[in-house]
């Protein structure tokens, strides 16, 4: 049995005692480039290479040759690595802007999670109603999701998911200021 891993650092399984030949790595370029690319990768131990290649040919004979060549150039010349570093910096800046703008209400809501990515989780104080905050924010033009949309059952948290990937830093500030006002208003009424 080969546990799949998307651990890009390739550390978690090896540090837990698994050997490189015991792990299959699977991934996609959809998140770092574009979903339209539709190219993924699978790194498997040598005993699985031939059966996997046969299955690939059977299920999807080939990926566009020009697309493969363009991706190969991006990889071999370091363009993809530079793009990823640039985007990490870009989104980290937006995250910091969000964090700074919400800092005055840290006693009401804490920004949680990694300082990376396109979304953030805002943990609300237990007495605040995430659904009311989301509704009031939407009435003011700000769309956020409650955390319960991520749960099949009853959530063990009270908070909001904030997406900022497609926004400018100015829009992040504008949205966070409105959200901050909504949370402060609700806190004042409880």
Size of the chain in residues: 190
Q: Which residues pair with residue 120 across a beta bridge? A: 162
Residues 17 and 91 in one domain: no
Residues 147 and 60 in one domain: no
Q: Which of 62, 77, 92 is the last residue of a domain?
A: 77
Q: What DSSP designation does 113 have?
A: S
In this model, does residue 138 exceed pLDDT 70?
Answer: yes
Residues 106 and 179 in one domain: yes
Residues 185 and 93 in one domain: yes
Helical ranges in 60-122 per DSSP H: 65-76, 79-102
Between CA 77 and CA 3 the distance in angstroms is: 31
- Domain count for the chain, please give it: 2
Q: Determine if the pTM surpasses 0.75.
A: no
Between CA 145 and CA 45 the distance in angstroms is: 41
pLDDT bracket for residue 17 (50, 70, 90): low
How far does Cα 135 stand from its chain's mean position? 24
The whole-number average pLDDT for the span 106-114 is: 91
Q: Which of 49, 77, 105 is the last residue of a domain?
A: 77
Residues 59 and 95 in one domain: no
Largest pairwise CA distance in the chain: 65
Residues 12 and 57 in one domain: yes
The pLDDT value recorded for residue 92 is: 92
Residues 112 and 169 in one domain: yes
How far does Cα 27 stand from its chain's mean position? 14
The whole-number average pLDDT for the span 95-111 is: 96
Backbone phi and psi for residue 189, each to the nearest 5 degrees, phi listed first: -95, -5
In this model, does residue 21 exceed pLDDT 70?
Answer: no
Q: Are 39 and 68 in contact (CB under 8 A)?
A: yes
Q: Are 165 and 93 in contact (CB under 8 A)?
A: no
Residues 97 and 39 in one domain: no
Q: Are 186 and 129 in contact (CB under 8 A)?
A: yes
The pLDDT value recorded for residue 127 is: 95
Residues 68 and 139 in one domain: no
The pLDDT value recorded for residue 29 is: 87
pLDDT bracket for residue 1 (50, 70, 90): very low
∠ CA 120-89-162, rounded to 5°: 15
The pLDDT value recorded for residue 77 is: 95
For residue 114, give Cα distances in angstroms to 43, 47, 79, 117, 118: 27, 37, 25, 8, 10
In this model, does residue 12 exceed pLDDT 70?
Answer: no
Residues 90 and 54 in one domain: no
Residues 43 and 64 in one domain: yes
Q: Give the CATH number, domain containing residue 161.
A: 3.90.1150.10
The pLDDT value recorded for residue 153 is: 87
Q: Which of 50, 77, 104 is the last residue of a domain?
A: 77
The pLDDT value recorded for residue 19 is: 58
Residue 27 structural domain: 4-77
In this model, does residue 163 exceed pLDDT 80?
Answer: yes
pLDDT digits (tens, 9 = 90+) for 40-87: 888 888 888 898 888 888 877 678 889 889 999 999 999 999 998 999
Token pair listed for 100: 């700074």
Residues 99 and 182 in one domain: yes
Q: In this structure, how many other beta carbons lie within 10 angstroms of the beta carbon of residue 172?
A: 21
């Amino acid at each position: 049995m080969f546990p799949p891993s998307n651990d890009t650092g390739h550390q978690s399984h090896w540090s837990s005692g698994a050997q490189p030949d015991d792990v299959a790595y699977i991934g996609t370029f959809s998140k770092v480039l574009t979903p339209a690319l539709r190219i993924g990768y699978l790194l498997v131990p040598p005993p699985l290479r031939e059966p996997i290649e046969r299955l690939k040919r059977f299920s999807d004979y080939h990926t566009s040759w020009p697309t493969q060549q363009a991706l190969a150039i991006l990889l071999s010349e370091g363009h993809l690595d530079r793009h990823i570093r640039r985007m990490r910096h870009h989104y980290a800046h937006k995250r910091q802007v969000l964090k700074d703008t919400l800092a005055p209400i840290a006693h009401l809501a804490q920004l949680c999670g990694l300082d990376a990515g396109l979304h953030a989780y805002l943990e609300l104080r237990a007495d605040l109603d995430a659904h009311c905050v989301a509704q009031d924010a939407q009435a003011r033009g700000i769309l956020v999701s409650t955390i319960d949309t991520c749960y099949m059952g009853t959530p063990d948290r009270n908070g909001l998911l904030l997406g900022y990937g497609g926004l400018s830093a100015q829009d992040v500030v504008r949205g966070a200021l409105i959200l901050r006002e909504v949370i402060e208003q609700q806190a004042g009424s409880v």
